[in-house]
Structure formats: C-alpha cells, structure tokens
Amino acid sequence: MKRIKYYLAALLAGTLILSSCSESLFDINTDPNNPADVVPGLVLPAAQAGNAFVFGGYYLNLGAFWSQQYVQSPSASQWAELESYNITEQDYDRQFTTVYAGCLLDYQYIRNKTAPTANWKYYTIATLLQAYTFQTMADLYDQVPFTEALQGVKFVQPHFESGEVIYDSLLARIDDAKAKDFTLSSNETPGGNDLIFAGNMALWTQFANTLKLKIYLRYTEVDGGSANNRYKSQIVALLAENNFLNTDAKFSAFTTGQTTSNPFYNTFVDRLTGNVALNTTLGKFLKDSSDTRLQAMFNASATGANYNSVATGGSSVINGVTLSNFATPKITATTPVYFFTKEESLFLQAEAQHRYGSDATAKTLYTAGINASLVANGLASGSVVYAYSGLKSIMEQKWVASVNRRSIEAFFDLNRTGYPNFLSESISTTLNPGEKPLRLFFPQGEQQTNANTPTRVPLTTKVWWGK
C-alpha cells in the first residue's frame, strides 16, 4: 500500500466533511498508524462519512448496473463500458485507495486508541464497521490486504489474503466486539458523534448479529452446498436468539450543498446527468406485477411522464432519443446511504429460515420484508402482494428492495444464489456469450506500488463463496 499521512476532517455544525489522504501522499516520515492525538469522537463521524461516500456512490452504481437495475441511457456513454463489462484495472482504483486510506484506517485508529483504555463503545462501533467494510472489499476482489494492512511503515507492501481466511477473522472480531462491557465507567458515550445509531449499543448489537447472519449465509455454496454450511448451528442459534436489526442502519447527514450531498446524487445525477436510466429487466418485472414501487423508486421521464426503460446494451442501438425519454433513479441530494435496511435484515432472516429453520416462518418474514420495502418507499404495507415460492421469491424481492439502497448486495446475491435468473445478455467485447462479471480486477494503483498484489484474475472467476 502507498505510504499515506493520516489526515482528519471533522464534522462541524452539521456539515459533512470527508477525511482525505492526498495532502502528504509521499511523506515517508509520517506514520499513518500514529497520527497526532485525536479524540475518537472526531474520528468516528469522519470515518462513517468516508465509508458512506464510497459505498453509497460508485459501489452502489456498480451493483445496480451488474444486477440490471440501472442501465446506460441513450445519447450518453459514461457507463457504457461498465454495462458491457469492458472494465480495466483502473476502474475502481480510486475507490479501493479511498476505502483503505480513509475509513478503514480511521476505524483502526479508533480501535488502537480505545482498546488500552477499555473505551468499548467506540471500539465496538469501529470494529463492527471495519468488519463490514472488509467483508465488502473481500467480496469485490476475493483477495485484499488484511492482517498486514493499516499498520503504517511496518508493512509498506502488505500481502493479500483470501476472502475465506478474512471471513474467519472477521467473525472472531465481531464476537469480541459484542462481548465487551458497555457498563464500565471507562466507556465514553458516542451520542451524536455516531451518525448511524447515535451510540445506541443495543442497535449495534443487532447490527453485529445481522452482519454475522449475512456472513454465515455466504457459505451456502461452500463445502458441497447449503446443507453442509459449516455455520449451520450458529445460524440456528442466531435465529433462536432473534435479535436482528428491525430498523435501517443508515448515514443521513447529507445536505443540499455541492460537496455535502448524497454521493450517488453528487456524481451520477448532479454532475453527470443524462447517463443512468431504468433497466428493462427491473422495469418489466415491476410492470408485469403492477408493483407501484416502480413509481416510488424512479422518476417519470421528463418527456411524456412515463416509465420507459432501456435493455442492457440497448443504448448503443437506440437513436434519436435522450435520457428525457426514460425513467431515472429517484435519489436526491439528501437521500441516506444504507449500510443495512430493515427489509434486507428481514430477507436475510427469511433465507436463513427457509434453509435451516421453518419455511412457514420464512414466508412470514418474506412478506414482512416486502411490506417493509413498500413502507420505505412511501407506500402502504400490503398494497402489493407477491406469492411465496422459497428461495427464488426471497431473492427476487430482496433484489427489488435493494434498488437505490443496497444494490451492491444484489450483485453479491446474484453470484451466490443465481437469482434473479432472468437477467438479459449483455453486449461485451471482452467476455464470451453467457459469461458475466463475478469480481473486480486488482487495482492498478496496488499493482504499481505493492509487489505483493496477486496476478490478474479474470472477471469471470468466481469468488470463494460463489455459486
């Protein structure tokens, strides 16, 4: 990894300011693991903001394109290569560096700062969010720096480790964080410095359980299939405990300012308007079901006030029309970035019950997940009804519910379960017919500065938990 000087931005008067690392990129005399003494209460909101900035922007867009929720609009070409899977090692290089030099490093600073003083509330929040972030990065690349990462000059070129090895460590870290004593007088209460749950440790415990369930379910295609999931007993125990998130874990400290707005809006709507439209795969599914979430999730076209869509690859063959003829994602400057949603938690539980518990309970949770999605989109609970048909229906509805909120998870679920199984064929000059991307390339920046970066792996090679 590049030697990066620790730089902290603060959150003042409700204005979002992101942490930065560009100021001293080549300052070899600065140890990023030992910055000037900064209190955790200032580091945490900056870390959460940096986390939300990447995950709610470019990674949300990636998931939405590759799970066919969004599409490149005609008369523009910004995301045509992404849509057709013709990406390179340069794509998402900046996001990779931003995550490691920003929020992951910030969370590690908090962990290092609070562990010696038993300041366990801050320690636990930082540990859980760092585990959440490491898991997502491992899912995107299959191998990422982990044990040797975030340690400054001690490991200038950290080795990459497999996602499976990282997962085992993350589960141990989550359990360690959950076990801390939050009643000790040494604990500082985060309060407003925690921009997700305002320091509510009961909710962070539910976050931990929901994250563990998500991790456990990644093993459904490992070791010979779902029935052989090595964490089956742990899943059953979590279901029996039944202490999962029943609310959104979201970052909502956005304003209408140009640099303080929702990251997707800031990049894909405000600055690059004219590029992202409704994908026909999603649009047809919702229209065929008379699902009013279509109108809640997308803006009607400026021309004709309809919900026209574009098929994957279709923008290159459609002439004479522009974005104004198509529906667009309904994301505003102040739309939150979601780490988990209530409906995602319910669909995770539904899948777990379907595989390892009661299918009747799975059906109840499935219906609750649909209703939570409806309410989240400003619609009445029960206003849209879908029949339950096991895993296929759970994953289809989880895919719909993820639109504009958790699209990267839809991409992971597609590669893990094969659902939805009605996505259209894309047009690609780099992949063979029937092939699709299952990961990202190792970033160019890492290849240039870290000799331990693995050799190139094809986009079509599944990650360790892939179906």
Lowest mean pLDDT among 49-53, 78-82, 435-439: 78-82
Q: How confident is the model at residue 274 (pLDDT cuts 50, 70, 90)?
A: low
The residues, ordered by sequence, that sit 6+ positions from 403 with a Cβ below 8 Å of its Cβ are 64, 69, 282, 293, 297, 329
CATH number of the domain bearing residue 445: 1.25.40.390
Range in 24-28, 163-167, 300-304, 425-429 the model is least confident about:
24-28
Q: What is the pLDDT of residue 323?
A: 87
**Whole-angstrom Cα distance, residue 186 to residue 111?**
15
Q: Is residue 401 part of a domain?
A: yes
Between CA 145 and CA 157 the distance in angstroms is: 9
Is 318 domain-assigned?
A: no
Residue 441 belongs to a domain: yes
Q: Is residue 360 part of a domain?
A: yes
- 28 pLDDT band, cuts 50/70/90, is very low
Percent of the chain with pLDDT over 90: 81
Instruction: Using the predicted structure, report yes or no on whether residue 259 has a pLDDT greater than 90.
Output: no
Residue 247, pLDDT above cutoff 90: yes
At 32 the pLDDT is: 52
Q: How confident is the model at residue 8 (pLDDT cuts 50, 70, 90)?
A: very low
Alpha-carbon gap, residue 313 to 89, rounded angstroms: 22
* Angle separating helix axes 58-66 and 407-417, nearest 10 degrees: 40
pLDDT of residue 35: 52
Residue 290 lies in a domain: no
Whole-angstrom distance, CA of residue 366 vs CA of residue 390: 9
pLDDT tops 60 at residue 296: yes
Where residue 36 falls among pLDDT bands split at 50, 70, 90? low
pLDDT (average), residues 208-213:
98
Number of domains within the chain: 1
Domain-located, residue 295: no
Residue 372 near residue 346 (C-beta atoms within 8 A):
yes
Instruction: Spell out the residues 6+ positions from residue 56 whose beta carbon is closer than 8 angstroms to its own.
Output: 251, 262, 263, 264, 337, 338
Scanning 57-150, the segments in alpha helix (DSSP H) are 58-66, 80-83, 93-99, 105-114, 120-141
pLDDT band at 80 (very low <50, low <70, confident <90, very high): confident
Q: pLDDT of 97-143, one tens digit each?
A: 999 999 999 999 999 999 999 999 999 999 999 999 999 999 999 99
Closest CA to 240 of 395, 361, 372: 361
Q: Using DSSP, state whether 329 is helix, strand or coil.
A: strand
pLDDT for 257 beyond 70: yes
Per the structure, the complete domain to which residue 354 belongs is given by 40-71+83-255+341-449
| DSSP 3-state of 453 | coil
Percent of the chain residues topping a pLDDT of 70: 91
The answer to the question of residue 216 being in a domain is: yes
Within-domain flag for 286: no
Task: Identify the band that residue 275 occupies on the pLDDT scale cut at 50, 70 and 90.
Answer: confident
Q: How far is 461 from 427, CA to CA, in rounded Å?
A: 19
Report whether pLDDT(73) > 60: yes
- Highest mean predicted confidence (pLDDT) among 73-82, 119-128, 222-231, 262-271: 119-128
Residue among 96, 90, 126, 100 nearest 4 (CA): 100
pLDDT by residue (tens digit) across 408-422?
Answer: 999 999 999 999 999
